Chains A and B, each alone.
Chain A
Amino acid sequence: MISGLFGPGSVTNTLRGGLEEASATHKVIADRVANALQQSASTDFAGQLNAKLGSEEDIERDMTSLADTQLRYDATAKLLQSSYAEYRSAIRNG
């Protein structure tokens, strides 16, 4: 019965997986933003344009994914909190 509440396939387990996934995504974004600027002289505009056209680096996209990841994390944490609240209520009043 306990594994039905917390084991594989349960709501709490799925939500916990969601939290882990969101924090892993957040870590990747943090690394990308931290390493986006590699030197203080960054005004080689032609070079930057070529780099931008050819690479995946895009700080705007990273910052948008950051907002998205944070909202996902918040939503998952809220859902997890409410499922725990339900269990708590069942334990106390059931």
Chain B
Amino acid sequence: MASPVPPYSPRPLRGLLGPLGASAAGMSRQARFMEVISNNIANAETTRTAEGGAYKRQIAVAGTDANGNPTTTIVNDTTPGEKHYDPGHIDADENGYVQYPNVDLATETVDLMIARRMHDANATVFQSAKEMLRRALDI
């Protein structure tokens, strides 16, 4: 007796839609990282904020919510920034020192490059998933 034909399974196609979503989430996460880094660079010299005091460097941390969806939390870097002696500055303290943000431009630039490279990597994976999907449609 011939063995029964297994039911047709569209799994190759369904399986491929997963990487598209994962890479898209990865790309938007890197975009968010780059946004936070540019904000740090833009405020590298900000000595006065609405919360009071100099700007605090922000760090975006990736995570997932209860449903497994990717989230990004922003935390403040608490390391103290540099103080410069500048008695003429409007935000100078009684000793003439100005508190500057704890943002280091070189560090931020390197972080930006890393985030950009990771964005590129996710885009490459997305592209390859797309090509595989297209290839499957040609069968």
B residues neighboring A (CB under 8 Å): 2-6, 9, 11-12, 15-16, 18-19, 22-23, 25-26, 29-30, 33-34, 36-37, 57, 59-62, 77, 107, 110-111, 114-115, 118, 121-122, 124-125, 128-129, 131-132, 135-136, 138-139
Contact = CB atoms under 8 A, between A and B. Distances in A.
Given A40-B111, A66-B124, A74 B59 contact: no
Contact of A41 (B11, B59, B136): B59
B73 to A, nearest CB: 9
A31 interface: yes
Contacts of B136: 19, 77
B60 A39 contact: yes
B125 A66 contact: yes
Contacts of B59: 39-41
Given A20-B15, A37-B114, A77-B139, A30 B129 contact: yes
Nearest to A34: B26
Is chain A's interface secondary structure helix, strand, loop, or mixed overall? helix
Contacts of A16: 9, 12
User: Which has the most chain A C-beta neighbours within 10 Å: B5, B111, B114?
Assistant: B5
A7 B19 CA distance: 29
A62 to B, nearest CB: 8
Nearest to B114: A42
A38 to B, nearest CB: 5
